[in-house]
Chains A and B, each alone.
Chain A
């Protein structure tokens, strides 16, 4: 925190944007965890399904079908998710532990087709139930009023099904509806989400690993990057009730999402009431040297090449299976900056940005800071340095080129005005302003570039980002 306020430019940036209050909030957890829900006091998830409309930033509205949390956020992982109860896109992220007995009670409150739940990588039992009460246990009476479908028991409007299974190996899984008159429609319409299975020895403070202690999958921050895509024509036909006006071969996606939002909405914070049915943001925050676990999920129907700026990712798992030669350590993963994401596949990967070997001092060579690398002598600044994690070989080296004046440049809204991390520079009125901490924004986006549009408007679509913040910046 001390370094953060060292330079007047930074302090001014904080004050101007009213961000100074963020510094006084002490977080219960020091690092980022995926937002979601766990099984409530009765040991079950109670979900419902209902249609809703959500707005896109270019002005249109999409009719959707969504899963919502019937337990009103009782099992929410974060305070902001308590009391959250709307049908949402994507569906609530379910957070469980390997070996856990999982029950998902699903009631259809108003989706005009039979619905169900399939979980990738899992064999599910299902039975008809009465409609559960919010926060209640699995009803024990009734049990006859759902509909047998091709794959599993389905719930028509007013019906309920209980799905039970045992959570499999640690990793990332997709669940979705696959039922009714046109099963191919259901993920398109929004009935799709993620289940995260944590290792049995997981501890949010002392053992933050993807697959368990000793597997080489320790991380600091955990983020969901879930891709979906939508053909608005389908949603218009469904809103009109023209269920038979659609054939699967007509589908042609025109809007592309990360975590259920498009650019720039996806930068706007979790559970932001501006987006009542889209609770999950896609802006990832990190600091130099932090390890980010990316759960890269393609929950859509089309393939997406997801490209991560800033540094390569090391793959550690796929579809809930650790990439391992011996089952003990995640040793088989390759490194890439782009993930070949095929429909309903998940990839877990680790991403770390250090600033190493840029060849110039990312904190500014004349800023008067130190870089102490004694213990461990690994090239990076020790914890007692001004900027822990700084690559000391580059310390004190001036940036080798000068940047053109602002009159020769077009300035992005997230440009801080300075090439240095944690610094801000003078910008003309109305320019910049979205990056008060002087972070490095490095975009994470689909490299099928047509997907950076929302219904024919650029920029939009699946253009997300990570921001590398100066050491000491709080990350929630």
Chain B
């Protein structure tokens, strides 16, 4: 496959849209209060950010990701085009899908405007798939903004759908595309999402009675002195009222796995193996070890031989035929490392792991050899019984399946300095396909 310029590809998508959809307006239409020019930020003259308002402009499209054994896999995914002018978004967005998608970090109280533009899948011009964002775990979700296409709406190529979320529940969520969920999620439309509690700003509080004399039911937050407002990098996981979810360093890690057979079937326009789907590239944040401990973005994907089907490299590049041929227009697609460092000399004692599992075909058990993992939240909720008792769970490992999220605090106060390994206890998942000592391993370095 020869690569074309972004503009030529954008033009091809525009032509395709003209051909197939007489009624579609097919326009990038960003909705963001206070933003005048549609780039979803407030950096231009005359713009100001309204209080507690966040905007983001995601694209949904395709690209490539490099597995840690050098295998290039075709992906669908999300990319971040916040700050890009609307008429440039499709050109910039094609072949730029990140794996995993851009992390969304929010604060309780935010009004979040999430614009999603479908830039199409240029590697698969035969597809006209719509896309969505499903904010997984969002409380009291409405159908319109829940992103499930069978029961609501999804956005067609060339157009923008804006989701609105009033952020009221802190915790660890995730987001993904729900269109043809098995295919789009296996292809990589998955990402981290988490919400910081208002306790970070106010310190610990209790809810008092309703404001007298007002028309709205609005119980008052009354400081109780059990903890101070968070300063610096740390904070709290939840509005615990007692400071028991305090942490110093946080790390969001998403567990996933790619099935090479599935991705290659998609790349080469073959029937997709749903029933036989079985991941062989287990990953943390879109990388297998040792790429997991690389803190930098990986280089832009370039073609390489298939390390499993063609270990001797006689067939040249798997995708284009030419080893080294760029697979994107310079876009880097794997931004997230997952190596963790705690410097206790600066007070970094407590590590918060925001773990989310997006496995499509299996459960995983996570452990941090030599460290105790305390779960303080599941499914973006504080682990607390209805009588107010904390029901945290301490163990050396925790099993979870697709769609589950865990807030785990590791207290390193009494731990010897050194490098600890966070990994899947299903130890055959510590591999990149046939390459051993890979997959679901990363390091926690404690100084």
Contacts and interface: CB of A to CB of B under 8 A. Distances in A.
Interface of A: 216, 254, 303-305, 307, 309-312, 314, 325, 329-338, 340, 353-360, 362, 373, 377-379, 392-393, 399-416, 419, 421, 435, 439-443, 446-450, 452-453, 455-459, 463, 465
Contact of B359 (A353, A448, A453, A459): A448
A455 B378 CA distance: 32
Contact of B391 (A254, A332, A336, A402): A332
30 contacts: A305-B357, A305-B363, A307-B403, A311-B140, A311-B141, A312-B137, A329-B386, A331-B387, A331-B389, A335-B381, A336-B378, A337-B403, A338-B379, A340-B363, A340-B401, A353-B140, A355-B140, A359-B111, A377-B217, A392-B216, A405-B25, A410-B179, A419-B143, A421-B142, A441-B151, A441-B152, A447-B404, A448-B361, A450-B275, A452-B181
Interface in B164-178: 164, 166, 168
B25 A408 contact: yes
A333 B393 CA distance: 12
Interface in B148-186: 148-156, 159-164, 166, 168, 179-183, 185-186
Contacts of B27: 408
B89 to A, nearest CB: 15
A458 B178 CA distance: 12
B97 to A, nearest CB: 18
A334 B150 contact: no
Contacts of A449: 181-182, 185-186, 360, 402
Given A216-B386, A305-B363, A450-B275, A442 B141 contact: yes
B64 to A, nearest CB: 22
Contact of B210 (A335, A336, A377, A448): A377
A311 B146 CA distance: 11
B113 A401 contact: yes
A392 B218 CA distance: 10
Given A358-B142, A392-B216, A401 B154 contact: no
B385 interface: yes
Contacts, number: 236
B208 to A, nearest CB: 14
B365 to A, nearest CB: 11
B137 to A, nearest CB: 5
Nearest to A392: B217
B21 interface: yes
A375 B359 CA distance: 47
Point out which of A311, A340, A405 has the most chain B C-beta atoms below 10 A from its C-beta: A340
Contacts of A410: 130, 149, 153-156, 179
A334 B387 CA distance: 12
B380 interface: yes
Contacts of B362: 448
B274 A458 contact: yes
Interface string B354-372: 0001011111000000000
A291 B101 CA distance: 35
A412 B153 contact: yes
Nearest to A253: B275
Contacts of B139: 311-312, 356-357
Given A357-B140, A407-B23, A443-B151, A456 B31 contact: no
Nearest to B259: A450
Instruction: Report whether over half of chain B's contact residues are helix, strand or loop; otherwise say mixed.
Output: loop
Nearest to B26: A408
A371 to B, nearest CB: 10
B136 interface: yes
Contacts of B163: 401
Nearest to A410: B130
B164 A360 contact: yes
A37 B130 CA distance: 45
A399 B111 CA distance: 12
A155 to B, nearest CB: 34
B361 A354 contact: no
B385 A450 contact: no
Given A331-B386, A393-B216, A415-B152, A340 B400 contact: yes
Contacts of A311: 139-141
Nearest to B402: A447
Contact of B156 (A409, A442, A456): A409
Which 8 residue pairs spanning A and B have beta carbons closest together?
A: A447-B403, A305-B401, A359-B166, A336-B379, A441-B151, A379-B217, A419-B144, A408-B159
B437 to A, nearest CB: 27
Nearest to A415: B152
Contact of A409 (B33, B154, B402): B154
A360 B151 CA distance: 20
A256 B183 CA distance: 17
B161 A407 contact: no
B35 to A, nearest CB: 13
Contact of A413 (B26, B150, B159, B379): B150
Point out which of B152, B154, B362 has the most chain A C-beta atoms below 10 A from its C-beta: B152
B277 interface: yes
Given A331-B389, A448-B362, 5 more contacts: A312-B380, A377-B217, A402-B162, A419-B143, A449-B182
B21 A412 contact: no
Interface in B28-60: 29, 31, 33
Given A334-B378, A412-B153, A356 B385 contact: no
A439 B148 CA distance: 14
Contacts of A392: 216-217
A456 B401 contact: no
A310 B161 contact: no
Contact of B151 (A403, A404, A406, A415): A415
B297 interface: no
B24 interface: yes
A465 B151 contact: yes
B151 A310 contact: no
B399 interface: yes
Nearest to B157: A408
Contacts of B217: 373, 377-379, 392-393
B285 to A, nearest CB: 19
Given A340-B363, A448-B361, A457 B151 contact: no
B111 A400 contact: yes
